[in-house]
Amino acid sequence: MRTVDIAEFQSILGSLPPDPRIIASGNFATPKTLLAVLDEALPLFTLNMLNAQPGIPNREGITLETSFVGPGMRKNPRLRYVPSRLSLVPRLFKTTLPPDAVIIHTSAPHEGAVSLGVETNVMPAAIEAAKARGGVVIAQMNPKMPYTLGDAEIKLDDIDYGVEVEEELATHQPLVIDEISGTIGELVSERVVDGATMQLGIGAVPDAVLHGLLKRRGLRVWSEMFSDGVLELDAAGSLDKDSRLTASFIFGTRTLYDWVHLNPRVLMLRTETTNAPANIAANPNMVSVNTAIQVDLFGQANASRIKSRIYSGFGGQTDFIVGALHSPGGQAIMALRSWHPKANTSTIVPMIEEPMTSFQHTAVVTENGLAEVYGHDERTQAKNIIEKAANPKVREELREEARSMGLA
């Protein structure tokens, strides 16, 4: 690796082919400084990021490309959405989405390497794909980025240029657990046994689930991501001290970032490993908790689209639901509010009209109760969803729809 300054970095960008594809660290590891220079230096380019946050380059001449749409790309007229399970996104870099350059956001160098810190995810695969085709790998090296272990560690020899930049990382403050989220969290946590392995999400409902697990013991973490909830579990003695917390990226506060820094209990692995259904299934009593925009009486979930327009993407939902269902004692829980407050409509619908994201969950949980799904015939599934999960004010309507569809 050769260390360069901003001016040299800008000249390096000038040597890229016309309209290059550039893959950059996403989520809360956005390399803001280098992306701003990129925006000034190149009139045309494609920017590929996962779950891009607000503030990324966004103007005519920039194509925004992703397999999981974040708030920084959502509803953008220049968005190019490429549907893919998260576990399979790395394959795209070797086939249909080859990178000309990769910009990673890393820690400062440590013992001959840097770390991808809070965003391992698909970046190791992007680096390998770029190197294989003669592309350029550039690191924004930031002392504010924690040094995490595992696949996050990148040897300096695998990086072409490093730019020293100190900037604050984006953070996520835990949401207040309201009454509805708390009820859902309690219902889900009651299904979790001591020694279970958890997939942890982000938001009020996942935070409420974690809060409900404080009395459990020997819990393990195998997840695509985790947030500050693990600190609460750790302080309560709920985690298995002999198992490493395994994830691919991290959302959280500065307190969490400091906790994961050089922490041998945290293992950051590439997405192909964390999200491989076979690896997920190898964890005993795997509990996957996901959410959706809608669930229908067939037990299908839409977590990706609103009025046919892409809202997010598959993410890891499809990977973890399949993996959890194959785990010994595993469960795939779909947890959501029964009523969408902004749209003023039920989240439980007769039949989803959007493209389906996932199906055949173990159970559907709302603030109204827990509806058993897996292992029951379709009529019993529909009845359970109506009577246990749906909002009371739409149950009669759903019963009528169930009868018309042969589900009652």
Catalytic residues: 224
> 229 is written with which tokens?
């909830």
Residue type, 282: A
H or E, element range at 306: strand 305-306
Q: Which residues contact 127 (CB under 8 A, 6 or more apart)?
A: 102, 104, 137, 154, 158
CA angle 235, 274, 238 (to 5 degrees): 15
Q: Which residues contact 25 (CB under 8 A, 6 or more apart)?
A: 31, 49, 103, 104, 105, 116, 119, 121, 123
DSSP, collapsed to helix, strand or coil, labels residue 157 as helix
**Distances in whole angstroms, Cα of residue 20 to Cα of each of 14, 46, 85, 272:** 10, 6, 24, 25
**Distances in whole angstroms, Cα of residue 313 to Cα of each of 120, 200, 303, 372:** 19, 18, 7, 26
Q: Are 292 and 336 in contact, with CB atoms under 8 Å apart?
A: yes
Query: CB under 8 Å, gap of 24 or more: what pairs does 233-236 form?
Result: none
**Distances in whole angstroms, Cα of residue 300 to Cα of each of 11, 292, 395:** 51, 10, 18
DSSP, collapsed to helix, strand or coil, labels residue 184 as helix
In angstroms, the CA 248 to CA 199 distance is: 12
